[in-house]
Amino acid sequence: MVELLKRTSGGSGGGEGMISLEDGMNINDLIPLKKVGGATGSSASSLASTQGGERILWTKSSSLVVGAGMVGHSFIELGSVQIESYETVTLRWKFDLTREEEDIYFSILKGICEDKRKQRSADACFRSRHVKGGGGGDVSGAFAVQNACTLVWSNEMSWFRPKTIKWTVEAVAIEWSD
């Protein structure tokens, strides 16, 4: 169970309270779906700043070697974060391959997908995007299942060369309203 801080405003009953996410619920069930404010597609904002209706919740970085003909993955969990009633969570991702001329296929799947069978049947934010040298972007709904997602890098098309990937992801709270 995840507990979130809820702020109410107006009237004499304004204040703070807690919202709990039970098993089977996700954070996007609680957030309205109309965007407001100046959220941009740029990942250049500082870790300590809040800009254009965005608030960085956390940042995670790592590296991974995906062998020739293999698939590598990382599980990303939202964790215990405070989300206001007018915010939704977006996953901002970026990765680079060690050699710019190399390419790989990249997917973001909803939920934790531990094996190939689960990965094939999982809902995807996007699947098998061909990336050369590296890439980046923002995706909504990544935490819609189990408040987690799976990053997948497929090097199945390579018979001889392993790929080294350096990646960073951020969970960003973005302002939304009715």
Output the CA angle 106-43-61, nearest 5 degrees.
60
As to burial, measured by CB atoms within 10 angstroms (0-12 exposed, 13-18 middle, 19+ buried), residue 171 is buried
Decide: pTM greater than 0.75: no
* C-alpha distances out from residue 104 to 4, 122, 145, 165, Å: 37, 20, 25, 10
Whether the Cβ atoms of residue 145 and residue 110 lie closer than 8 Å to each other: yes
Residues 6+ apart with CB under 8 A from 12: none
The pLDDT tens digits along the chain (178 residues) read: 444 444 334 444 444 444 445 555 544 444 433 333 333 332 333 343 466 789 999 999 999 999 999 999 999 999 999 999 899 999 999 999 999 999 999 999 999 999 999 999 999 999 999 999 999 999 999 999 999 999 999 999 999 999 999 999 999 999 986 6
Structure tokens at 3: 């507990």
